Amino acid sequence: MSHTMAIEYVIRNSEGEEVARFQDPSEARRYDRVLTAAEQLFDLFRGIPALSGVDESVMDEVSFQIAKRSGDILPILSKIGREKIPAIRNEQQGKSSSFFQADGEQSEGSVRSSVREARKKVA
């Protein structure tokens, strides 16, 4: 009878529950980085007043999916650049748009309609 030895890498959550198991250490490290990014995204989302009514399990899943798909998301976000996004002026009322406040948070109105309006003004 022959025996084989296998090394496994187990990732556990803060409660000690097993989250994932890997045999490849690089896969385990990558997954751990995804979880770390997801936690940071979750904290970011929790600080956005407009998301205060969103169930934490939903924010947790969205955070994980964004972190997991970072390779698809980073090229999209890189088009924005690192500069602070300026407040958009509402030409009809002569005041800042409700799309972005000075600190960059969304206030009222839907993001999609605000984005469409901003694109019309630029075009």
**pLDDT for position 13:** 82
pLDDT computed for residue 85 by the predictor: 73
Specify the pLDDT at position 120: 56
Per-residue pLDDT of 86-106, as tens digits, reads 766 655 555 544 444 444 444
Whether 44 contacts 36, CB under 8 Å: no
How far, in Å, CA of 29 to CA of 36, rounded? 10
pLDDT per position as a tens digit, 13-27: 888 999 899 999 999
Q: What is the mean pLDDT of residues 33-39?
A: 94
pLDDT tens-digit series, residues 71-82: 999 999 888 887
pTM for this entry: 0.63
Q: What is the mean pLDDT of residues 32-41?
A: 94
